Each structure stands twice: as structure tokens, then as C-alpha cells.
Chain A
Amino acid sequence: MKKKSLSDQIFVICNTIFMVAFVVITLYPVLNTLAISFNDGIDTVRGGIHLIPRKFTLQNYYTVLHKQNMVTGAYITVLRTVIGTLLALVTNALLAFIVSRKRFLFKSQLSLFWVITMYVNGGLIPVFLLYKNLHLTGTFWVYVVPGAVSAFNMLVLRTYMVGLPDSLEESAQLDGAGYMTIFVKIISPLCKPVYATVALFVAVGQWNSWFDAMLYNRMSDKYTTLQYELMKLLSSVMQQSGSADSMRNSGNSITPASIRAAATIATMLPIVCLYPFLQRYFVTGLTIGGVKE
């Protein structure tokens, strides 16, 4: 049994090559952007930058940090991530708590009411008009209020809560505890892992979204977000990519491409730094979420 056959050895070698290639393809573009972000903009246009900057500079980051829109974007993005996550966590947890109570009279009706929203939605234009009529457009609240409850997150939380023993609730009720107390003091502490999972999903979603900023707050720079600013930078890069030569002669050592690289790195930094520590939570969440409804 110990002796490996030839075909087995070939398999192991091929598999290792595949895995290495996979890692290289995943990491190389990211590291390349990192190198470009530290490289002189005009020098980058010449090409040939791989993993190490050729003409090191901090100018790109300096420019990014001094762009008013980037600063506002960072502020709004942090704010929407924090407020949006807290709000979504509280509302989804409360809803999941309600529909996971065994004795609740309308639990199946309320669940169905929300599950339907996963499959049927009004579409872009009606939703746009609704937010406009509710005066949500042009405000910060359009980022956090509409998505506060989502059927998917509710289902993930519900699945977890249903798995908790009923006796917890019953004995608390015997002690005279109301539903509020049961939710806050008994169920919630037990749900910490799944709360972390849902919070992580929501936070990443908030951090990464740009479409809502473009659609609902296009007119006001006051509520711009990091990703939307990045999107604008990217479009300017793509429009100018044909005219690299003209930029080389402009005398300015900063190009949209290098600013974009710096902004990209700055935007993904929080996620890259945090995610190794949060891994186990989202793996749990995905496994729960994949459970058949």
C-alpha cells in the first residue's frame, strides 16, 4: 500500500503544478497592481513592471489621499459599512427570531412573505422610482435602509436558531422572561458565530457596492463611495489607454492608471488584512446558507 504507482506519482506532480498555477494566476494580478501603485506613473507606461516597482514613489498614494472625493468616499464607505451592518444584523436577527419561535401563530406565513422576495422583484426602474418618491435618493440612507432586511440572511439566521433547543425558551418563560429578554439575553449570545457570519456578508457587500452610489447619488459628491470613485478612475483609465503617448509628454508624472492602482490597493487593504481572521465564519455561513430551504 505504501508504494506509489507511477500513475499516482504523475497525478501528484500534475496536481501540484495545477495548484501552483492556480495560486499564481490568483495572486499575480493583485501583486502586479501593488507594484504599479508604488511605481512612477510615466515609468509604468513603458511597461515591464511585474512584482517589484522599478522607479519607487509614494506620489500615487499621496495624490489619492489628497483627492477630496476619495476622502469623502472613504468616510461614507466606512459609515455605511458600520451603520448598514449593525442595522441589518439587528433587523435580520429579530425577524429570524420571530419566525423561529415554535408557538408563533404566523411563522410560516411570515417566512413565505419574505422567501417570495427572493424570487420576485420589481426591477430597477420601479425600485428607482420608489426610492425617489420616498426621498431616499440623494441621501445617505439609501445605502442602508432598503437592504436592511434580506430573505437570504434571515434564512441563514433562522436555520441556526431553529437548531437551538426549545427548552431554553420554555425555561426562560417559566422564569417570567418576555420575548425581548429571550431574544437579547438567551438566543443572541448563542448565535454569535452565525451573527458574525451574517455581519461579515453584509459588511463586505456594503464595502464593495458602487452601483447604488452611481444610481441614486450621482449628483452629489457628498455621498460618494470609495468603489464609485474607483469606478470613475477606471473609466478614465480605459478612455485614455489609447493615448498613453500623449501623456508621456505632458510632463506630469502621475497617470490615471497609477492613481487607480494606488486607490485599488487602498480600497482592498482592509478586506485583505481582515479576512484571514474571519475565514472560519464565512465558511460556516456558506454551509448553513446552502442548506435546503
Chain B
Amino acid sequence: MSRGKKKAKQEITWKEIKRQKVLLIWSAFFVIYGFIFYYLPLGGWIMAFQNYKPKDGMLHSKWIGLDKFKFLFSDASFIRVIRNTLAMGTINLVTSFVMAIVFAILLNEVKNVVGKKMVQTISYLPHFLSWIIVTGILHDALSSTGIVNEVLQKLGIVSSQINFFAHESYFWPIVAFSNLWKETGWNAIIYLAAITAIDPSLYEAASIDGAARWAKIRYITLPGIKPTIMILLLMNVGNVLNAGFEVQYILGNGLVQKVSQTIDIYVLNWGISQNDYSLGTAAGIFKSAVSIFLILLANRMAKRSGEESLF
């Protein structure tokens, strides 16, 4: 395979170029497009080292070195924002993985085909709804007259209504729950597909040996989907910091902002609302750097433990 690749590479001859003229022209378009929309913004990173003023542009703004970064790390609210982002990102990552795997395994145990299909179809409906809709719906459910308060009161767990959006301690669980509500069914699809791919004869052999249901799940199903779990975990670790914008932005309010604000919201507040482009960019660079670090770290750990790795 690699030899074939090399051979193809060596063939850069005029004849071949002429033959592929159309492909080359098309790819030029894609390179230009990609350069403008994906690579050019990277050049904007120099703003983080300037006191950027729109009227001066990037060429004539004053250079200030690392001042913006120094400000960031001396700003207590930025430190808090990092904590919130990491905390919510990690909670979301762990809960969504556990829930999706548990749901997939349990759904796989449902033997009624129609029921199984129906549950699955319903389970991934929320994935297609926007975060605005999801947070709105959950806001209703958690409001003072919503179903959650009603059930809690009827069961006698609480004596008076809880205002879920006014207490800091409820915020992270609400974010985690909305994430679970929206994505569990969807995330489970890939595990269900992986479970289907497990050789059925393994289960038959286990039955003959008298293995109970739990034993089969533990020794056949879980090891069978382990590669899938690992690769998805790897792919999602880099996204931990991305798990913090929409719900937090919509549901966050003055009462809970100490725990609700994330790096993305910080960037939006400083960069767009306060027009401090330099500070916003610096915070964004920090986020990118941490994300890439997390991906590389996860990849390295996966390689070391002998699992599949991304690259």
C-alpha cells in the first residue's frame, strides 16, 4: 500500500498534470476557500499580542507582548471561567459516556423488536432539536409550576417550590441533565451498531457454558465495544472545552454567573460586547492550546495502554 502511494507520488509529470487538469483547477478553488475561511483567522492570533484598535488594523496596532495573557491569568473571573468550563465539560463527558453505554446495552437486551425500535426512534428525537428548544422545554419542566416541582412536592420530598435557576448548586447538574436528555439516544446509536457487530456465536457458547446475563454483558458485550468506546473517548476529550456555550449562555443569569460562565462566554463578553478584540483572541488561543494539549495527551495515553489511537 505505501509503496503504491510512493509510486503515485513520483508520477508528477507534465502528462499526468495535463490529464488531471480539471482536478487541479478544482482543488485550487478548495485550497483558496480553505485558506480564507480556516487558515486566515489563525493570522488574527497576532491581535492577542497587540493592543488592537479596529481603526489601526493589525498592521499599525501597538504591540504589547504578553500583557493580555498576563491580564487573563490575573483576572479572578477568568480563572473561575476555566474551572467552570473544565468542570462542566468533564461532567458532561463522563455522564454522557456512561449513560449512552448503559442505554445501548440495556436496549440491546430488549427482546421485543417493535418496542426496541420504538424506544430507539424516540430516544434520538431530541438530538435534532436545537439547544434553544431543548433549554426552553427544560426551563418549563423546571419552572415553579413545572412538572419537576410538582412531582417533588407530591412525593413530599420538598415542602415548597425550588427555584432551580437561582441556586448555584443546581446549575451544573441542570447542564449535565440537558446534555443527557438531548444526546443519550444519539450517542447510543454507535454502541448499538458495535454490539450488533459482535459475533453471536460468542453468546451462544457462553449460554451453553451456563453464563448468566450479567456475565455475558461483562465478558462479551463490554469487551466487544471497548475499541469503540476508546476511539470515541479520544475524539471527545479534545472537545471538553467546547462543551460550554449554548446551555450556559441561555440558562445563565446574574444569580448563577459564578458557576455558569465558560471560556466561550468570556470571549463573547469581552471580545464582542466590550470590543476588546485582543483579550477575546487571547482567551480563544488559550482554549485552542488546551484543547490540542488534551487531544495529544489522550492520544498518547491510548497508545501507551496499547489501545487504538487517532494518529
Contacts and interface: CB of A to CB of B under 8 A. Distances in A.
Interface string B81-106: 00000000000000000000001001
The 6 closest A-B pairs by CB, nearest first: A122-B41, A126-B44, A123-B284, A47-B145, A208-B130, A126-B41
Nearest to A1: B207
Contact of A26 (B31, B123, B232, B295): B123
Given A23-B119, A119-B295, A276-B121, A283 B17 contact: no
A66 interface: no
B49 interface: no
Please classify how large the interface on chain B is, using the bins under 10, 10 to 19, 20 to 34, 35 or more: 35 or more
Given A98-B26, A238-B165, A210 B288 contact: no
A238 B139 contact: yes
Contacts of A179: 20, 22-23
Interface residues of A, number: 91
A193 to B, nearest CB: 16
A130 interface: yes
Given A108-B5, A125-B267, A128-B271, A113 B31 contact: yes
A7 B211 CA distance: 13
B22 A101 contact: no
A120 interface: yes
Nearest to B33: A149
Interface stretch (B72-80, B107-115, B168-176): B107-115
B23 A101 contact: yes
Given A117-B38, A119-B292, A18 B106 contact: yes
A140 interface: no
Nearest to A30: B137
A175 interface: no
A180 interface: yes
Contacts of B47: 125-126, 129
Contact of B20 (A105, A241, A272, A275): A105
A124 B271 contact: yes
Given A119-B238, A208-B128, 20 more contacts: A1-B207, A5-B212, A15-B110, A26-B181, A32-B140, A33-B140, A98-B27, A102-B8, A108-B5, A119-B291, A124-B284, A126-B45, A127-B44, A178-B22, A180-B22, A237-B139, A238-B251, A275-B128, A290-B228, A290-B232
Given A103-B16, A126-B41, A227-B130, A264 B288 contact: no
A175 B228 CA distance: 43
A268 B129 CA distance: 7
Interface in B33-47: 33-34, 36-45, 47
B277 A125 contact: yes
A12 to B, nearest CB: 8
A284 B259 CA distance: 39
Contacts of A146: 37
A130 B35 CA distance: 12
Contacts of B264: 124
B310 interface: yes
A241 B42 CA distance: 42
Contacts of B295: 119
A22 B139 contact: no
B136 A264 contact: yes
Interface in A143-192: 146, 148-149, 178-180
B136 A234 contact: yes
Interface in A17-36: 18-19, 22-23, 25-30, 32-33, 36
Interface in B253-303: 253, 264, 267-268, 271-272, 277, 280-281, 284-285, 287-288, 291-292, 295
B220 interface: no
A289 to B, nearest CB: 9
A271 interface: yes
Interface of B: 5, 8-9, 11-12, 16-17, 20, 22-24, 26-27, 30-31, 33-34, 36-45, 47, 103, 106-107, 109-110, 115, 118-119, 121-123, 125-126, 128-133, 135-141, 143-145, 147, 150, 165, 181, 185-186, 189-190, 193, 207, 212-213, 228, 231-232, 238, 245-246, 250-251, 253, 264, 267-268, 271-272, 277, 280-281, 284-285, 287-288, 291-292, 295, 308, 310
Contact of B34 (A48, A117, A275, A279): A117
A48 B154 CA distance: 12
A209 to B, nearest CB: 8
Contact of A293 (B36, B291, B310): B310
A38 B20 CA distance: 61
B296 to A, nearest CB: 10
Contact of A110 (B12, B27, B128, B232): B27
Contact of B103 (A16, A22, A95, A260): A22
A252 interface: no
A207 to B, nearest CB: 8
A113 B130 CA distance: 31
Contacts of B190: 286-287, 290
Chain B CB within 10 Å — which of A46, A47, A108 has the most? A47
A94 B26 contact: yes
Nearest to B185: A26
Interface string A199-225: 000001001111100010000000000
Given A103-B20, A146-B37, A180-B22, A125 B228 contact: no
